[in-house]
Structure 1
Amino acid sequence: MPVDIMALADVLRQAAKQEILPRFRRLGAHEVRAKSEATDLVTEADEQAERYIKAEVAKFAPDALFIGEESVAADASLLNRLADAELAVIVDPVDGTFNFAAGVPAFGVMASVVYKGEAIAGIIYDPMGDDWVMAEKGGGAFLRRPDGDAVRLATAAAKPLEATYGMASAAYFYAEQRLQLLTNLAKLRFFASYRCSAQEYRILAGGHVDFVLYNKLMPWDHVGGSLIVQEAGGHVAKLDGSPYRPHEFEGGLLAASNKETWDMLKREILG
């Protein structure tokens, strides 16, 4: 492994303790700003946590391309370098910023490692629960706690359509496509959205829901989580069925607990 994954996991935890949690429910109005729209937010916690993580990653992976959500907001050309980078570390310092800014305890810190164009590690740290969900390619997915305790994760078994439930974000589907999607989702037992891919990937990998569905593909939101789900036994692909690669930013993503469920959702929900 070209990056020390446990060292990276600890960096995420320390960033949360130093820069994120002290600001939770304590943000001033001047510490929250809108980016592309009113619900697309950045806070002082996002920016300071990413600065901390970037500086620490440089100590043990100095040759890695660092792709952070806030770094890309400042320099969009960084994304163009991902496809050709031999080694990259991708970070979302606060995934679920809308929730964080609203005082809702559903957010996370995400990181992934990409080597020669392939995701080889993913980490999702939950600051509220003080634990990680993580995976290395070929090594399974685990819930790990600071005391060293580790539990192997496994996705759920297939269910009939009417008993299936999961997480679906319709925010980036538009017009007739959005209307059709929401109509088809009514066939399921239920669906919801936490507005936080960190928490949604965690519960899918842990066997608590059957799928997650997105139409916006930014690498900090999906590279680590999709690898974790696959290592837990799930099936992940773009909406057209093609493989998802870290440098692809269009095409939507469906991650399901197994291939049978993926195929059923593709047929019945996506059409």
Structure 2
Amino acid sequence: MQIDMDHITKIIAEVAEEEIMPRWRKLADGDVMEKTPGDLVTVADIEAEIKLTARLTDVLPGSHVVGEEAVAKNSDVLNLLNEKDPVWIVDPVDGTRNFAKGDSVFGSMVALVHKGEILACWIHDPARKRTAVAELGSGAELAGKPLYVPKASQLQHMTVSLNENHRRWLEERAIDGLGPIPRMAIRYGAVAHDYISLAAGEFHCAQYRRLMPWDHAAGVLLHREAGGFDKMIGSQTPYAPKVYNEDCLLLTPNEEVWEEARRFLNPGSDSYHA
């Protein structure tokens, strides 16, 4: 399956300029809604996904789109991930809460998947006009420059990204003889930026419990192609682009560090800590 990576990058950037950036810091009261209590969506999310759906399926006839906003309206859309046709997984505005507040930490995430394999990904940062891209077997880059996960072997010298509850829980366990706690990265509410930072080596490990495919398919491939390693803690299998209800994703610089990180980040547990 031949995909013009630069052409898709251009499409995503154009949609961001047409539907997302003109609304940034200019949202009216009626432009921000709740899909469920506390789960925001804006008119920018909706309109960007509509336009991306049309343009991406036009580029690849016969393909389908699994978009966050489409799934919010009809969960059956997720079944497309099990079909034989290529699927674009789309998060039009990752970090919607930040976007709605006027913060600059948000992004657009797109992954191309075929028969359960992630073939290509794009993470676009509209506020900074940069895009991270990766194609299976071809490496990863950000704004045209290669991305490399740094070599690392000692967890205590690494920087780890965890959710706030997990971080507090781990710090409390330190008094039980857990040993030195690694440096903790700050999460700013947009996994798109987490994955760019992870692939660029700004932090070394990350663990995620909320695993909707539009949040992780693109980022996992970016991290893999930058040289990183990932595996699910419960099933002990590499991440796949699907919905996980009872598992947790751990990403590390390499396979050797993965088991150490699993034990350290989830002390006293045979599986994982949420």
Q: Residue 272 of structure 2 aligns with which residue?
A: none
1:184–1:269: 8 Å Cα contact kept in structure 2? no
1:94-127 deviations in Å (ceiling 9; x for gaps): 0011111111110111100001210011110111
TM-score, length of structure 1 as denominator length: 0.89
- SS for the counterpart of 2:47 is helix
* Stretch moving more, 52-61 or 183-192: 183-192
2-structure distance, mates of 1:223, 1:61 = 19
Q: Structure 2 length as normaliser, TM-score?
A: 0.88
By how many angstroms is 1:198 displaced?
0.4
Confirm or deny: 8 A CA contact 2:149 2:228 kept in the other structure.
yes
Matched residue of 1:203: which SS? helix
Structure 2 distance, partners of 1:164, 1:229, is 16
How far did 1:249 drift?
Answer: 2.4
Tell me which amino acid in the other structure corresponds to 2:106: F
> Which of residues 234, 250, 253 is equivalent to 2:228?
234
CA, structure 1 residues 247+18, in 2 after alignment: closer, same or farther (shift >3 Å)? same
CA displacement at 1:179 relative to structure 2:
6.5
Q: Read off the aligned partner of 1:260 and give its amino acid letter.
A: E
1:174-207 residue CA offsets vs partner (Å, 9 max, x unmatched): xxxx864564588222232121110000011011
The one-letter code matched in structure 2 to 1:125 is H
The match for 2:242 is: 247
Partner of 1:71: 70
Q: What residue in structure 2 maps to residue 22 of structure 1?
A: 22
Of the structure 1 ranges 195-204 and 256-265, higher mean CA displacement relative to structure 2 is found in: 256-265
Query: Which runs of at least 4 in structure 1 moved beyond 6 Å after TM superposition?
Result: none
Paired with 1:37 and 1:254, the residues of 2 have a C-alpha distance of: 28
RMSD: 1.9
**SS in structure 2 at match of 1:113:** strand
CA contact (8 A) 2:88 2:111 kept: yes
- Cα distance in 2, alignment partners of residues 184 and 259 from structure 1: 25
**Cα deviation per residue 1:50-86 (whole Å; 9 max; x = unaligned)?**
1111111122112111111101111110112212233
SS of match in other structure, 1:59: helix
SS in 2 for 1:82: helix
What amino acid is the match of 2:265? I
Q: Which residue of 1 aligns with 2:81?
A: 82
Change over 3 Å in CA distance of 1:56–1:260 after alignment to 2 = same
| Pairs aligned (count) | 260
Alignment-derived partner of residue 141 in structure 1: 140
Residues 182 and 112 of structure 1: is their aligned pair in 2 closer, same or farther, counting only changes over 3 Å? farther
Mapping of residues 1-271 of structure 1, within 5 Å: 1-38=1-38, 40-144=39-143, 150-170=144-164, 180-181=169-170, 183=172, 187-240=181-234, 241-250=236-245, 251-271=247-267
Q: CA deviation at 1:239?
A: 2.1
